[in-house]
Amino acid sequence: MIKVAPSILSADYVNLQKDIEKVDKAGAEYLHIDVMDGTFVPSISYGPNFVKAIRPITKMVLDVHLMVQNPEHILQAFIDAGADIIGVQVEATQHIHRALQIIKNGGVKAEVVINPGTPVEMIKPVLHMVDQVLVMTVNPGFGGQKFLPETVAKIAELNQIKRANGYDFDIEIDGGVNNETVVDCYKAGATVAVAGSYVYNADDPAERINALKEATK
């Protein structure tokens, strides 16, 4: 059964605590926080103070995805803010190994992220040191996009590398995830599913979280 990470990019910011508590009670394991800088992606979202404000109100894993150019400059701020997992895009830094080292040295789980157009080959040299790999199943920067089916092959490739080398990282998917698209991803080896609009645009977010889990039993 897949772990679910609702993305607060799709939550109601005026009632954010209520929306966080809803998915927490519904059994979501992670809370996905998309940090966007307006440079690596066109949108702008939150900073470390946002993570710091959320930390006291939930015991869910705070899964922070940095869509930020040169993330190594701000990693310490997110470590200090209370992130449990920090993901960095391989395309956003010339120093991916160093960035992951900073995260690990801060006592936080390290994640490497690849865009739909980036081959798995690009992250092979750092797979031994990560706790999670995020495969973007849409192009990053905007919520509500349609799932790209060609990304399933990447999940399978990662899963094969993981098994062949005895690695222990989670494989997370993000983008266009619903109770139908999650099935092939789960079969290919995905272990965590980020879902934004699918969960938060529903009348009953708990029902949607349950639907993702039921689809991957």
| Active site residues per annotation | 34, 174
Beta strand pairing call for 61-67 and 30-36: parallel
DSSP string, the chain: --EEEEBGGGS-GGGHHHHHHHHHHTT--EEEEEEEBSSSSS-B---HHHHHHHGGG--SEEEEEEE-SSGGGTHHHHHHHT-SEEEEEGGG-S-HHHHHHHHHHTTSEEEEEE-TTS-GGGGGGGGGG-SEEEEESS-TT-SSPPP-GGGHHHHHHHHHHHHHHT---EEEEESS--TTHHHHHHHHT--EEEESHHHHTSS-HHHHHHHHHHHT-
Name which of 85, 30, 15, 16 is nearest 212 in CA terms: 30
CA distance 89 to 98: 13
